[in-house]
Amino acid sequence: MIVEDIVDTGYSLAALLALFAARGAASIETFSLLSKLSHREIEVEVQYIGFEVGDWVEGMGLDTNQSGRANPDIVKVTKI
Catalytic one among 8, 55, 63, 73? 8
CA 1, CA 43: separation in Å to the nearest integer? 19
Distances (CA, A) of 8 to 25, 43, 45, 55: 24, 11, 12, 9
Annotation says 8 is catalytic: yes
DSSP 8-state secondary structure symbol assigned to residue 64: B
Lowest mean pLDDT among 7-11, 60-64, 70-74: 60-64
Sketch the domain layout of the chain as residue ranges.
2-55
Looking at mean pLDDT, say which of 3-12, 47-56, 67-76 comes out highest: 3-12
Dihedral sign for Cα atoms in the order 51, 53, 58, 63: positive
pLDDT in tens, 5-47: 889 999 999 999 999 999 999 999 999 998 988 889 999 999 9
**Interval 40-61 mean pLDDT:** 85
Alpha helix stretches (DSSP H) within the chain: 11-22
